[in-house]
Amino acid sequence: MPGEAPPWPKVRHKGKQAQGKTYERKLIKHLEGLVTKRNSIFYGRELLPSPWIYFLDINGKGWAQPDALLVHDNLVWIFEAKLTHTEDSVDQLLKLYVPLVKHIWPNKGHVAMEVCHNIGPIYRADKWTRVMLFDDVYENFGKIYLYHWMG
């Protein structure tokens, strides 16, 4: 369940990792603005920024931290921010975060989305559905939405 932070100290990031964390914080601020904006599809919804999720699986105890979860009617949106689009997000979103969200909210669907500053040359349309607006998103199991946001 989303809750307390794990029992290890915070790390001070440097270089590209620090830039990535800055982009992540900007995304969270953007989402916070959208949940208070009357004409937004996210208006009045519950935003969980960078929640720590403790879980137990066949490998033992673990922690996961999606960049943001947004609980929206019958859907839970899972946001993962990346400075540059990466295929690694497929496993992170579909094999870790989606199963956890399905376990926590069994009666809700999900939307898995990578929000990235740079798309780069490795974008594959067979794995990703690129959207220009959050309003263009529909529940789509097994695929990940890619949202290009300059921040």
- Mean local confidence (pLDDT), 91-111: 93
User: How many residues comprise the chain?
Assistant: 151
Per-residue pLDDT tens digits for 1-33: 566 666 666 777 677 777 888 899 999 999 999
What gap in Å lies between CA 65 and CA 42, rounded to an integer? 21
- Mean local confidence (pLDDT), 24-47: 93
Parallel, antiparallel, or unpaired for β 68-72 and 75-84? antiparallel
SS3 at position 46: strand
pTM for the whole structure: 0.87
- Mean local confidence (pLDDT), 112-134: 78
DSSP secondary structure letters along 74-97 = TEEEEEEEEEE--THHHHIIIIII
pLDDT given for residue 105 in this prediction: 95
**Could you tell me which residue, 10 or 88, shows the higher pLDDT?**
88
CATH number of 25-148: 3.40.1350.10
Amino acid 105 reads: W
H-only helix segments in 1-151: 15-36, 88-91, 98-104
